[in-house]
Amino acid sequence: MATCGEKIVELIEAYGIDIGFGIPGVHTLELYRGLSGSKIRHITPRHEQGAGFMADGYARAAGKPAACFIITGPGITNILTAMGQAYADSVPMLVISSVNNAEHLGMGQGRLHELPFQRNLVSGVSAFSHTLMRPEELPEVLARAFTVFCSQRPRPVHIEIPIDVLAMPADSVASVLPAIPDRPGPCSDTIELAVELLRSAKGPMIWLGGGAKDASDEALRLIEFLDAPTVNTTNGSGILPTSHPLCVGLNIGFRVVADSLKHADVMLAVGTELSETDTFIDGLKFEFKGKLIRIDIDPGQLSRNWPADLAILSDARSALAALNRAMGVPPETKPSPDSDGAKRTAELRTRAKENWWPECAPQKHLMDTIRKALPGVIIVGDSTQLIYNTLHSLECRRPRSFFHSATGFGTLGYALPAAVGAKLANPDRPVVAVIGDGGIQFTLPELSSAVEAKAPVVVLLWNNGGYGEIRRCMQAREIPFIGTQTCSPDFMAIAKGFGCLAEQATGFEHLNELLQAANQAEVPTLIEIREDAEFLFER
């Protein structure tokens, strides 16, 4: 007899789930009975928030969801922050949790791990949350979940199963997977209207968000054909490589770039919220005086923040491919560094750079050292000064290679466990977590998880003795420092105690040596850099 818990594992494996993150508990034992006979790799974090962040990093790097196996009550409340980060950034994640026996739900009898309405807590950070009351519901509910992941705007999905239902027999539950629909494509009439606008444009610009990260080839062809300067959001970084002559980069938050967007006669925005977190540096409010074309898979998003003059409800790849066909874009295009668009782009990048604040240059050199020492690196950032000061200038050559928590939901402690997830998704690529001494203390024990999972990530620890960015903001507003100068432990000793390598960088050449050695190591490496290190100011 197969129990419902075993059947869930069988079905999600059939859907392509190959890794799960969770901490076993007495309320999830039947799920683990199923895992024992499956090919799904199980990773045990040290906290359920770590499980969620690992699943998030895995999904961003791999382009497909992972599963989290979570206990009732505290397991759910622990993972909510990670689900909030994934929800804000449209990251797929399957969260399967237990809940108290069906007959006890809503009774408030003080049962172990009991929450009055567990599903209500999760509903705000998930595409949907469902309580499974019968094993026979499994095929339909999982089909809904994977439709969200594969065919809609991807976000976390939560399925909770009462403990008694997890143990019910499920031999009669069908193992045949229902068909998952394709992502929606654009209306041909709307594409024709878009073509008319783009052909008539004298100074078009393009804005690429995270919804376009699987459409880089289609986007590149259209960008070069239109000779259009293009900005990327953080989630869209690498869609158009930063080195491309038409890439304005992540400089959207600088006034000179915002003004250029405002005065473009046609703006094409693909898979982006056009939100304040896209303008992280100054939180600018955008204006568009020209025509705005928006492409998005989420119909609600097409009318948020800035209503479109022309709204195309579609998957980004399908819409951009349709535009290319309708405009007669050749299969191969060649950018010209002397084109009008390239000249406009170069001027924007130069003028934006003139507005960088003093900390940017040495910290950019530090980040460039990482990229040069570790070709093909995936950089995972936290809410930390080093990311704030360099996200607009970081070189990124392909999608799914740079992501962070500093915008969107903006949580702390994300980078370390998310980097572990990214490394598990891409074991052959170097992965670096960039995190501050304040943020790492949220999830520091996940170093132990990384050792156990054989995920040799590099942790670049930016140590400014507490919450340095908040101190800077307090100083700017003439507020006395309160709560920002925290006690920093001996990170070297802690990392070594977990079985990691650890050393403090003393110069850029030394940092390069440490990074290259870390890339050959079989265990994680923590490299500490102090904010006041003299070598940062020698150049």
Question: 473 Cβ partners below 8 Å, 6+ apart?
Answer: none
- Predicted pLDDT at 452: 98
- What is d(CA 366, CA 536) in angstroms, rounded to the nearest whole number? 8
Contacts of 179 (CB under 8 A, 6+ apart): none
Please report the pLDDT score of residue 281 as a whole number: 59
Q: Quick one: fold of 360-537?
A: Rossmann fold (3.40.50)
In the chain, where does the domain assigned CATH 3.40.50.1220 lie?
Answer: 188-353
As given in the structure block, the two tokens for residue 407 are 């915008």
pLDDT of residue 539: 57
Sequence-separated (6 or more) residues with CB below 8 Å from residue 247: 230, 232, 240, 241, 345
CB atoms within 10 A of CB 13: 18
- Measured CA to CA, the distance from residue 68 to residue 70 in angstroms comes to 6
Q: CATH says 4-166 is which class?
A: alpha beta
Residue linked to tokens 């992941």: 149
Distance separating alpha carbons of residues 86 and 421, to the nearest angstrom: 13
Q: What is the pLDDT of residue 369?
A: 95
CB 457 within 8 A of CB 420: yes
From the first residue on, what is the mean pLDDT of each consecutive set of 10 residues in the chain (539 residues)?
A: 95 98 95 94 98 98 98 97 97 97 86 90 97 96 98 98 96 92 97 98 96 97 97 93 93 86 94 84 75 97 92 98 97 88 95 85 91 97 92 90 92 97 98 97 98 98 90 89 89 98 96 98 97 81
Residues with Cβ within 8 Å of 55's Cβ and at least 6 positions away in sequence, in order, are 21, 65, 66, 67, 68, 82, 86, 93, 421
Question: According to CATH, what is the number of the domain 188-353?
Answer: 3.40.50.1220
Helical ranges in 74-207 per DSSP H: 74-88, 118-123, 138-151, 163-166, 188-200
- 3-class secondary-structure state, position 42: strand
pLDDT digits 0-9 by tens, 253-274 = 888 898 898 889 999 999 999 9
DSSP single-letter state for residue 539? -
**The two structure tokens encoding residue 169:** 């027999």
pLDDT of residue 427: 98
Span(s) in the chain for CATH 3.40.50.970: 4-166, 360-537
Output the pLDDT for position 393.
85
Predicted TM-score of the model (pTM): 0.95
- For the chain, give percent helix, strand, coil, nearest 5: 40, 15, 40
Q: What pLDDT is attached to residue 297?
A: 98
**Which bin fits 328, alpha (ψ -120 to 50), beta or left (φ > 0)?**
left
Looking at the DSSP bridge assignments, the partners of residue 404 are 381
> Two tokens at 14?
């059939």
How far is Cα 119 from Cα 98, in angstroms, rounded to an integer? 11
Q: Which two tokens stand for residue 248?
A: 């304005």
Which residues is 501 bridged to in the sheet?
525
Handedness of CA 297, 147, 188, 240 (dihedral sign): positive
Contact 468, 495 (CB under 8 A): no
